[in-house]
């Protein structure tokens, strides 16, 4: 729209096309800033559109940045259950515990072997399926107690994980993963997805609240902003959640059958690593007592007694 561009000229300076009168060069140069100013505002001039385009691009980047940081804040677990952004109080809340375990033990081979030995899902089925509902109620109570520490931030057993009925376990549910560039907002977050139904295997039941407890422990152990997938198992990422799962299931079983907590139950399940074949009930009892003694599963695992147990000396 050249006419608008020229509209800013005082009438006496307009090129008079009728008599071909030209503006004196000196006069023309004086008017240039006005031309530039008008062009920037109107965006009609080809020559001047390059800087304008750049400005627009910069502006878009700024908008993107602003949008991203805003979404980073807004897309927290309250809006999307089980989706923990950088602002979630859950993410990394126990990361230091894992760092300490790795630092103090130098990730000794016994720990790695033990992790492999206990991370066999089939070995977690110890509750008879006819006790399913009662087991779930007890598991819910334990999970509620565990989540209570985040009460002031609005984290509940319902929104701390994403409950799904996808029924594609391990692929779409009962897993925790870092969701970064793949999500729509390009914001960093950790997603914990748990199947709404518990699992049944050969007449034994694994409560959904036990799975949720396990997955939430993963969220707590992941470092904020961490890029590496937890499935890149270089960081003992399964050792603490899985040991805790064993302790928890043993507790639930004992409550269900009114057994003494200190009793060693024979589940007819043995785990095999450097220390030899060790009964599941023994592992549960050993680490439950250590956890009580040290006030946390990470400190318990890193303790001298734990290392001696893993080396087969206890
Ligand atoms: Zn796990």
Ion ligand 1, residues whose Cβ is below 5 A away: 238, 241
Ligand 1 centroid to residue 239 C-alpha, Å: 8
Query: In angstroms, how far is CA 34 from the centroid of its own chain?
Result: 55
Residue 195 sits in the same domain as residue 295? yes
The residue out of 73, 93, 118 marking a domain boundary is 73
Residue 31 sits in the same domain as residue 145? no
How far is it, in rounded angstroms, from Cα 299 to Cα 99? 11
The per-residue pLDDT for 179 is: 80
Ligand 1 centroid to residue 231 C-alpha, Å: 9
Crossing angle between the packed helical segments 95-105 and 239-256, to the nearest 10 degrees: 110
The per-residue pLDDT for 2 is: 30
Q: Residue 13: pLDDT above 70?
A: no
Residue 227 sits in the same domain as residue 102? yes
The per-residue pLDDT for 62 is: 67
Minimum mean pLDDT among 17-31, 116-130, 218-232: which range? 17-31
Residue 139 sits in the same domain as residue 221? yes
Ligand 1 centroid to residue 237 C-alpha, Å: 7
Ligand 1 centroid to residue 281 C-alpha, Å: 20
Crossing angle between the packed helical segments 239-256 and 280-294, to the nearest 10 degrees: 110
Residue 14 sits in the same domain as residue 147? no
Minimum mean pLDDT among 34-43, 83-92, 165-174: which range? 34-43
Q: The pTM is what?
A: 0.76
Ligand 1 centroid to residue 215 C-alpha, Å: 6
Q: Residue 214: pLDDT above 60?
A: yes
Ligand 1 centroid to residue 176 C-alpha, Å: 8
DSSP helix/strand/coil, 293: helix
What does the mean pLDDT of the chain come to?
80
């Amino acid at each position: 729209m050249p006419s608008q561009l020229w509209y800013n000229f005082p009438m006496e300076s307009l090129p008079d096309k009728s008599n071909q009168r030209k503006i004196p060069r000196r006069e023309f140069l004086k008017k240039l800033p006005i031309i530039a100013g008008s062009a920037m505002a109107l965006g009609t001039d080809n020559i001047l559109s390059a800087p304008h385009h750049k400005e627009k691009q910069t502006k878009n980047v700024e908008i993107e940045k602003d949008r991203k940081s805003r979404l980073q804040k807004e897309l927290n677990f309250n809006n999307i259950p089980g989706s923990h952004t950088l602002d979630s109080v859950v993410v990394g809340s126990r990361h230091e515990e894992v760092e300490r375990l790795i630092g103090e033990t130098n990730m000794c081979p016994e720990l790695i072997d033990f992790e492999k030995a206990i991370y066999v899902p089939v070995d977690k089925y110890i509750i008879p399926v006819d006790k399913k509902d009662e087991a779930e109620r007890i598991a819910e109570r334990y999970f509620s107690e565990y989540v209570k520490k985040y009460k002031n931030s609005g984290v509940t057993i319902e929104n701390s994980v994403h409950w799904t009925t996808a029924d594609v376990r391990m692929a779409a549910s009962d897993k925790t993963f870092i969701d970064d560039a793949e999500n729509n907002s390009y914001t960093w977050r950790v997603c914990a997805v748990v199947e709404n139904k518990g699992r049944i295997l050969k007449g034994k039941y694994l409560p959904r609240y036990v799975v949720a407890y396990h997955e939430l422990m993963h969220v707590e152990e992941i470092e904020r902003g961490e890029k590496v997938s937890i499935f890149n198992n270089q960081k003992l990422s399964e050792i603490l959640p899985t040991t805790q799962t064993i302790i928890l299931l043993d507790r639930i079983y004992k409550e269900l059958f009114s057994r003494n907590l200190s009793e060693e139950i024979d589940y007819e399940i043995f785990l095999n690593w450097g220390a030899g074949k060790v009964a599941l009930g023994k592992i549960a009892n050993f680490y439950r007592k250590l956890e009580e003694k040290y006030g946390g599963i990470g400190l318990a695992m890193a303790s001298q007694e734990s290392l001696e147990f893993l080396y087969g000396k206890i």
